[in-house]
Amino acid sequence: MIARLQLLVLATILVVGAFSTGADFLFYLLYLLLIVVGGAYVLTRLGLSDLEAGYALSQLHGSVGEHLRVTYTLRNSSRIAKPWLEVVHPSNLPVALPGRALLLAGRSERTWLTRVPLTRRGHFRIDPLQVRTGDPFGLFEASAAVGSGATLVVYPRVEPIPFWRLPATALEGTHASRERTLQTTPLVTSVRPYVPGDGYNRIHWRTTARHQELYVREFDLEQAADIWIFLDLERGVHRGRGDESTIEAAVRVAAAVGARALTEHRAVGLTGSGHHLALLPADRGARQHQKLMQQLAAAQPDGIAPLVEVLSHGVGWLRRGMTALVISPSTDPAWVRPLASLRGRGVGTVVCHLDGPAYDALARETDGRGPAGPAEAAEQARAVRALRHTLAEYDLPVHAIVPRVRLAELLVTPGAVTPRAIAR
C-alpha cells in the first residue's frame, strides 16, 4: 500500500512536471514509469492464468507421533512461464504446513510431498490452499484459494500397558481370560478345518468356498467385566503445562485403558465432566474405539462441576459386573464416598490418581520459576496423603500417575510379573 502511494505521488509529479515544462527527459521518465507499471500489472494478471493447483491429505484421522503427508501439485498449461509463485497452506496445526516459493516454466508441472509431525491431540482446521503471485517491484499481487478446507482429528497416543488387569466380574457366564468354548458366542476368534463332530451351524461358508474344504468357526467365552471411565475435567484441579500436565496424562491413561479393554472384547463407556458433559454409552468394537478416541481428542479441562457431583449422577449407569475407572488429580476426599458404595452392588472400582504437585513442580522447573514455598509444598503433600489414606480405608485400588514415567510401569496390577521383577 505504501509502495502504491509513493508510486502515485511520483507519477503525479512527473505528469505535472512534464506537461508544465515540456522537458523531454521528464516525458521519458513518465513513459518508462508507464511501461514498468503496465508490465508489472500484466505480469501479475497473467501469473495465475492457465494455472492448476491441488493438494491431497494422506489421512483425516491420526494419532500423536504419526506424520501427516500432504501432496501438492502445480501445473502450468500455458506457454508463458510463471516466475513469481508462492504456495501457502494455512492451518492451526501445532507444526505449520510449510509453504514454498517456486518458478514454473511453460507447460510444466511440479509435485512435492510434505511431512508434518502430529505433536498434539485435538481437532485442527486445514484451510484451502493459497496460491499467490506478484511482480518484482511489489506493486501488485494476486491470490487464489484452491480446494476446500478439512478437519484433521488427532487422537491421543495409545501406550501399551501389558501388565494391566481389571478385576474379574462376579456375573455368571463370563470369564476373566480368553478360553476356547464349544458354545456359540458372539466372540468369533478364528477358523479351523472341520473335524468329525463339529456342528454344521459352525461352518464358515466363505472360507470353505475359498479353500474348497470345510472350515468351522472357533469362539471365545465372553470376557470379564466391562469398564466405564470417569474422566475428571474440572478446571481448577489440573496442573502442569503441555504434554507434561495432568490433563494430558489423564487422557493418555483413558486412551490406554480403553484401547486395552476393547481389544479384550469388553464394552467401554466414558463420562467426561467438561464444559459440556461428554457421555459415551458403553459398547465394544472398532467403531467404539473410534468414538472413544474422538472424545478424548477433544477433552479439555474446562468443566465447572466437581468430580463428586459427576460420580453421584453417573453411578446409576453402572450395572452389576462392570468396573468404574476414575481418573482424576483432585485431592478432595468427598468423591471417594460414592465409589465406596459400589462394591455392595457388584461393581468394581479402580482409581488412577494424578500427582498434581509433581506435575506443578515440573512445570515450575521448565518455566525457570522457583519451587513452591515450603508451606505450600507441605500442604499439597498433605492433601495427597490424605486422599490416598481415604482410598485405602475403603480398600479401593489406586495407581499413582507421576510425570516422566511410562504408563506400562505405573499401571501394573498387583501380582503381575513385570520385567523389572524378573530381573530381581
- How many residues are there in the chain? 424
3-state secondary structure of 38: helix
3-state secondary structure of 396: coil
Amino acid at 70: V
pLDDT of residue 124: 96
Burial of 287 (0-12, 13-18, 19+ CB in 10 A): exposed
Q: Give φ, ψ of 164 to 5 degrees.
A: -90, 130
What is the domain partition of the chain in residue ranges?
51-155, 180-220, 227-423
Reading the chain (424 residues) residue by residue, the pLDDT tens digits are 566 677 677 777 767 777 778 777 777 777 777 877 878 888 888 889 899 999 999 999 999 999 999 999 999 999 888 988 999 999 999 999 999 999 999 999 999 999 999 999 999 999 999 999 988 877 788 999 998 899 999 999 999 999 888 765 544 444 444 444 455 555 566 788 988 878 878 888 889 998 889 988 876 545 456 899 999 999 999 999 989 999 999 999 999 999 999 998 888 999 988 777 788 988 888 999 999 999 999 999 999 989 999 998 888 788 888 899 999 999 999 999 999 888 888 888 999 999 999 999 999 888 888 888 888 889 999 999 999 999 999 999 999 999 999 999 999 875 444 444 333 3
| Domain 227-423 top-level CATH class | alpha beta
Q: Which residues lie below 8 Å from residue 54, measured CB to CB, with a gap of 6+? A: 72, 73, 129, 146, 147
Block residue for cell numbers 456342528: 199
CATH 1.10.3720.10 describes domain 51-155: no
pLDDT of residue 175: 45
**Distance between CA 103 and CA 136 in Å, rounded?**
13
* C-alpha angle 146-151-155 in degrees, rounded to nearest 5: 145
Lookup: cell for 72: 501438492
Q: Which residues pair with 17 in a beta bridge?
A: none
Q: Which residues lie below 8 Å from residue 178, measured CB to CB, with a gap of 6+? A: 189, 220, 221, 223
The predicted model scores a pTM of 0.78
pLDDT of residue 320: 82
Best CA proximity match to 51, nearest among 75, 71, 72: 75
pLDDT of residue 62: 95
Lookup: cell for 102: 517456486
Best CA proximity match to 169, nearest among 46, 348, 49: 348
Lookup: cell for 116: 508434518
Q: How far is CA 372 from the centre of its chain?
A: 32
